[in-house]
Structure 1
Amino acid sequence: MTLLAFIVAIAVLVVFHELGHYWVARLCNVKVLRFSLGFGKAIYVKRFAGGETEWALSVIPFGGYVKMLDEREGEVPPHELARAFNRQPVLRRMAIVVAGPIANLLLAIVLYWALFIYGVPGIKPILGEVPSATPAATAQLRAQETIISINGQATPSWQEVRWILLDLVLQKRQADIELRTVEGRSVLRMLDMSVLTPGDLDGDFLQKIGLQPYQPPIYPIIDKLTEGGAAQRAGLQTQDRVLRVNGQAIPRWAVFVEAVRSHPGSVLNIDIERAGSLLTLSVTPDTATEGGKQIGRIGAAPLIDRKAFEAMLTEVHYPPRVALGEAVRKTWETSVVSLKMMWKMVTGEVSLKNLSGPITIADYAGQSAQIGLGAYLGFLALISISLGVLNLLPIPLLDGGHLLYYTVELIKGSPVSEKVWEAGQKVGIALLVTMMAFAIYNDISRLILG
């Protein structure tokens, strides 16, 4: 599933990107010789009747290209010189080059538009426990309060809360949070996030702030037992309620789990309530290894109030016209935040650990596909924006690098020299190889360290 989802994602994003170049080239009457999905040797080539473009599938699937008629890449017949890319006015060349990234951004808008009409599943923006000595605690935010808006922007889901706060953290701005209290009153709190460091963005920065979504309590009532597990061997049964472990009160299932995990191979005296009677059982957790550390397990699962958890879910959707506006806004804001993150990586304000490579992207593709079509389309929209923004960076070899050359040509009235072009290509290769090396290193680190 992961590999298939990744291949489909790459194919969709590359095809739309290259179609942007292709369509605008055709509009500018530039002859397109080949449209290829993938690089390297072509394994399938098709030319339609009456067509002038070869449509190819190549052996290396990570990318694609549109090859246009160009005197710099081969001899051009005199009668076709007017259709050569290099003979076009500079503004036409710029339009053809920028069309690829624009196509990716338009694809994201279309995907978000469809999602907002259909409905985007999310978690209600209700606060969980607020740890002491955190910015959220200082701002007097309380558990079970609902976040209505941040700096005037509505927050219909927890995902929107996270995204808005990330943007504010990058801008080092204060968050003015409108909340609805448990009693139903509307209050305004000021959240200072200036205490965050660049390293805090490597993980879940919301935890550093002191924010987490509310989760309905899971009480220590056993619902399922593993056949032959330590719990079953000791006589525990379904519907047993755990009261104490070695004299320690157990108000929630998480406390029980921690008590078991921290005592591998050690006897635990567990006080339970069963059908109105109090019993004490001795359980010896089996020893297991997790992350190089020994932990205890007894093979028991809790009774979960599924209705309570389902009540925490929401669905964000809009009428078609409003959905289009929201899709444009989402694409714009995501693009801006992506650029800010990239710039802060360059300046050292944000760690390069945030770079992700093909392994992480493939993993996210597989996870989103397993969740459902909506999650996968949302993933495609996000990666499409990233691809569009990345290609607009003024790095030689990328579309943005070509735009930089053409901008210089537009200003000085003549193309940049071949020496400058070749030097730029070498710099571009070095930068892209370095970025990819960091991204793959981060991917491997995540696989090894989790």
Structure 2
Amino acid sequence: MWLLGFLLVLGPLVTLHELGHYLVGRWCGVKADAFSVGFGKELIGYTDRRGTRWKLSALPLGGYVQFAGDMNPASQPSPEWLALPAAERAQTFQARTLGQKALIVAAGPAVNFVVAIAILAGLNLAYGRLEVAPVVQVLAQDGAAARAGIAIGDRIVSIDGDPIAGFDEVPGRIAPHPGEPVTLVVDRGGEQLSYSFTIRPVTEQDRFGNQFRIGQIGIGAGGGRLVPVGAGESVVLAVRQTGQIMETMVLGIWQIISGRRSVEELGGPIKIAKFSGEQLSLGWPQFIHFAALISINLAFINLLPIPALDGGHLAFYAAEAIRRKPASQRSQEWAFRTGIAFVLALMLFVTINDVATLPLWGR
């Protein structure tokens, strides 16, 4: 299940990411020499009339598109590129305008966002929108909220100054902040009261033995209802959900950098495979939702301003637009080599981290 789930999640998502680069590149007049699903030795393939080699490769861990003239890590003009015939050089990535280059690079993460929004919109359309009044109906007497003075029947108005429209918004404002202060404003009989306290950190374990450190304040809501939504509303809701997931990712990374969360929560390919198999075992709706999360994750990671990632290229293009001249080829090549080294080191770290947290070691 791990292997099947991993292949069904990461393979298609990375392929779609690269397909985004390819389609926009083709629209901008760039020739692609190769488009591969997977890495390594070619298993099967064919060459289309445009000269692009489409192939299935032995290592099914994503894929890549290779544009004509892409001869160095920074995709900058080189002596080899200048030696190409003029007609061939005109079809290369380096011959495009700065805006076209940016569009081609940004297309990959953009497709991942579109895929995630489409998945979430489809789920919203199929199951509807959860509507739960932001009223406290369940109160743990030893919980942080009860100790602060919150009572059953209180209607939550805001959390840390942000208005709350439904109880379904509360977990997203509490769970990611274990051990941190929070301020709740509630309405009690027409009077607004403010309570400040600390979110209790709790370690929970799911049915697969995965442990998660989350925040809890000891409140719950009554029964909600699923409200049917139309096609337009489902997309709007999906865009909002995608933004919320992005906010959670940024918060999680900042918490790890600042030491408020353990680096053990970082995951790589092994952990993705593990979670993919677990979600697949729960059924297709859970698995498809998980695929949307991974698609957002791929887009987010690729947009980080790290040389060698799409975000690194976009950062150099932004600097070039401001300075009105590109950085030197030597400095860009060193930056991209450093970026590749950083990404490889990070991949090695998270892989070791993944192996260390597997249940093989008695944890």
Preserved contact between residue 135 and residue 192 of structure 1 (Cα < 8 Å): no
In structure 1, the residue matched to 2:343 is 432
Give per-residue Cα distances to partners, 1:5-46, cap 9 Å, x unaligned: 210101121121111111111111111111112222222222
How far the C-alpha of 1:171 sits from its partner, in A, is: 9.4
Separation in 2, partners of 1:199, 1:436: 26
**Partner secondary structure for residue 205 of structure 1:** strand
How far the C-alpha of 1:316 sits from its partner, in A, is: 6.1
**Residue 77 (structure 1) aligned to one of 72, 85, 92:** 85
**1:403 pairs with 2:307:** no
**Partner secondary structure for residue 37 of structure 1:** strand
In structure 2, the residue matched to 1:100 is 108
Preserved contact between residue 16 and residue 104 of structure 1 (Cα < 8 Å): yes
> 2:18 is aligned with what amino acid?
E
How far the C-alpha of 1:156 sits from its partner, in A, is: 5.9
Preserved contact between residue 135 and residue 191 of structure 1 (Cα < 8 Å): no
In structure 2, the residue matched to 1:7 is 7
Q: Which runs of 5+ in 1 are unaligned?
A: 180-184, 215-310
Matches within 5 A, 1:295-444: 315=226, 317-444=228-355
How far the C-alpha of 1:89 sits from its partner, in A, is: 1.1
Corresponding residue pairs, total: 342
Per the normalisation by structure 1, the TM-score is 0.66
In structure 2, the residue matched to 1:152 is 163
**1:29 pairs with 2:33:** no
Matches within 5 A, 1:38-437: 38-48=38-48, 50-70=49-69, 72=71, 76-119=84-127, 130=140, 132=142, 134-141=143-150, 151-155=162-166, 157=168, 160-166=169-175, 174-176=183-185, 190=194, 192=196, 194=198, 203-207=212-216, 209-210=217-218, 315=226, 317-437=228-348
Separation in 2, partners of 1:430, 1:91: 28
Aligned-residue identity in percent: 31
Say which one has the larger Rg: 1
Give per-residue Cα distances to partners, 1:227-254, cap 9 Å, x unaligned: xxxxxxxxxxxxxxxxxxxxxxxxxxxx
Preserved contact between residue 264 and residue 353 of structure 2 (Cα < 8 Å): yes
Preserved contact between residue 12 and residue 62 of structure 2 (Cα < 8 Å): no
> 1:334 is aligned with what amino acid?
I
**Partner secondary structure for residue 70 of structure 1:** coil
Separation in 2, partners of 1:189, 1:338: 31
How far the C-alpha of 1:416 sits from its partner, in A, is: 1.9
Preserved contact between residue 108 and residue 299 of structure 2 (Cα < 8 Å): yes
How far the C-alpha of 1:378 sits from its partner, in A, is: 0.8
Q: Which runs of 5+ in 2 are unaligned?
A: 73-79, 205-210
**Partner secondary structure for residue 18 of structure 2:** helix
**RMSD, matched Cα:** 3.6
Give per-residue Cα distances to partners, 1:193-245, cap 9 Å, x unaligned: 65668999x833234x345x68xxxxxxxxxxxxxxxxxxxxxxxxxxxxxxx
CA gap 1:169/1:31 in 2 versus in 1, 3 angstroms:
farther
Give per-residue Cα distances to partners, 1:235-279, cap 9 Å, x unaligned: xxxxxxxxxxxxxxxxxxxxxxxxxxxxxxxxxxxxxxxxxxxxx
> 1:164 is aligned with what amino acid?
R
Per the normalisation by structure 2, the TM-score is 0.80
Separation in 1, partners of 2:343, 2:115: 24
